[in-house]
Amino acid sequence: MANQYYDQVSNPILKSSLAIWRNYPSLYRLVGSYCVQCQKSFYPKRLVCPFCHHRELLDKRFSGKGKIVNVEQNNIPQITVIGYRNLTARYMAIIQLIEGPFTIGELVDVGGIKPQAGMPVYSELRRLARDSNQTWQYGIKFIIRDVSNEA
């Protein structure tokens, strides 16, 4: 058992898998929303526009292209509690998507580059940590790559 789940950690998030399932579009495909009335875009998705308080918001899938606004390297062991024992240290960044909204995300495949504000990034679906029921969680992470000229 211990070998099978070598990366088992105490990650007692007492949350039903339904709560995660409901957010798959947002966590997996960068689906946010936009306001039909004032055309503002939001990520994560909103139910009410905070600008005009219109309630008709439609889903919008963002391109995944963006730039680093702020970045830090977290090597504090406490993050192992939430399932990242083998993944310290991690770069966590604030990303501004080219469509405007800001999101957060881990930078991966950084190699020898020192991540800095202004660098172009692109989102990818990656594995996160094991949930308390041992299933793997997945979600978006970002790689440093300029894809502004790619389709």
Partner 1 sequence: MNEKLPAIIGVGCTINPGEPHIDKGFKDLIVEASYAAIDNAHISPKQIDGAVFSYTGEGEVGYGGIAPTLVDALGLSPLPAFTDSANCASAHAAFMQGCDMVESGNYDTVLVAGFGKMTDVIPFENYMLLSSDSLFDYRLGYSHIDSFLLGTEYFAKHHINKDIQYQSLLAVAMSARNYGKYNPEAKYFDKISNYYDLKSLPALGCTLASGEGASAIILTKSVKARRKNKVVVHGRSWLSTSHYVGHRYSDQQIMNNQSKAVSDLAEGLPLKIACNRAYKQANLRPTDIDTVQVYDQLVNQFIALEATGICPIGTAPMFYINGEANVNGKCPVNTDGGNIGRGFASGAASLYGIIELYRQLTNTQQGLKIQNPVHHALSTFMGGYYADAGAVILSKMDGDD
Asked if 84 interacts with partner 1 (CB under 8 A), we say yes
Q: Cα–Cα distances in Å, from 62 out to 41, 78, 99?
A: 9, 32, 7
Question: Which residue is listed with tokens 């789940």?
Answer: 5
Asked if 135 interacts with partner 1 (CB under 8 A), we say no
- Rounded Cα–Cα distance for residues 94 and 101 (Å): 10
Span between the terminal Cα atoms of the chain, in Å: 45
- Give the interface size with partner 1 as a residue count (CB under 8 A): 45
Q: Near partner 1 by CB under 8 A, which window of 59-67, 102-110, 143-151? A: 102-110
Question: Which residue is listed with tokens 């992470």?
Answer: 141
In angstroms, give the least distance from the CB of 124 to partner 1.
13
Question: Where do contacts with partner 1 occur on this chain (CB under 8 A)?
Answer: 10-14, 19-20, 23, 26-27, 42-44, 50-51, 69-74, 76, 78-79, 81-84, 90, 92, 94, 96, 100-106, 128-129, 137, 139-141
